[in-house]
Amino acid sequence: MDIILAILKIMLGFAIIIGVHELGHGVAATLVGVKIKKFSLGMGPGFKFKNVPWLNEVVISPIVIGGYVMLDDEALEQKSFWQKTFVSFGGMLSNVMCAIIILICLGWPILNAVSLSLTIWLGGWLIFIRGMNSGEVTSNDMAGPVAIGQMLAGTESATAGMPYWFIVAFLSLAIAMFNLLPMPPLDGGRIIMDMVKLIFEPVKARVINTILALTGTILLLTLLIWVVFNDISKL
């Protein structure tokens, strides 16, 4: 029974954090006049729903680590730099708003909830780097999917005893903070690529963005592999 409850907590936490993020992109895209083609939550084979209002097609998979919203890229490409930036920020903003709402529901004063959320989102990496320089934080403190699952299940020692919904709020902010990194395919990286298109002529911009996308993907995969091994080594 405890195992089933832990699994449900993990699935619910990931579904909320990832689902809110991707829906945030979808809302932002809709506001600038770009249609959603498909919304997918999870990895692997799943349940498909056609002709869903607003989302068009929805795919829900049981392995809820991951997800995406497929937009009309041709229409998005016709939008201004600021409109495309708004769409990129949409996911992060929705995660921050989600955390603020959860904290308020937990009894936090509105100003405290907003202040903490914005501090973690916009200043999280500065806090992390400063902590590493001072020795208060080490690379081993970085969490991957396994450690995040432990946090949601309540079996991670550092967060054991914390309210479940506080952990969900914190992880929602962590996702928003992580996506600020200027590294494709993260949201921060997409903004950088749109800046390149704005600054350089089309041919040069394509070359630069291809290099950025390849480099970013390699770095992101390397980081993912490292944090997974780091998580497993702690078990």
pTM higher than 0.75: yes
Total domains in the chain come to 1
pLDDT at position 21 is: 97
| Structural domain includes residue 231 | no
| Structural domain includes residue 123 | yes
Task: Give per-residue pLDDT as tens, 206-233.
Answer: 999 999 999 999 999 998 898 888 888 8
Q: For the chain, what's the residue count?
A: 235
| Structural domain includes residue 175 | yes
Cα-to-chain-centroid distance, residue 32: 21
| Structural domain includes residue 27 | yes
User: Are the beta carbons of 175 and 195 closer than 8 angstroms?
Assistant: no
Task: Report the mean per-residue pLDDT for the chain.
Answer: 91
| Structural domain includes residue 131 | yes
DSSP string, 99-156: HHHHHHHTT--HHHHHHHHHHHHHHHHHHHHHHHHHTSS-GGG---HHHHHHHHHT--
Domain span holding position 172:
2-180
Which H/E stretch holds residue 58? Answer: strand 56-60
| Structural domain includes residue 204 | no
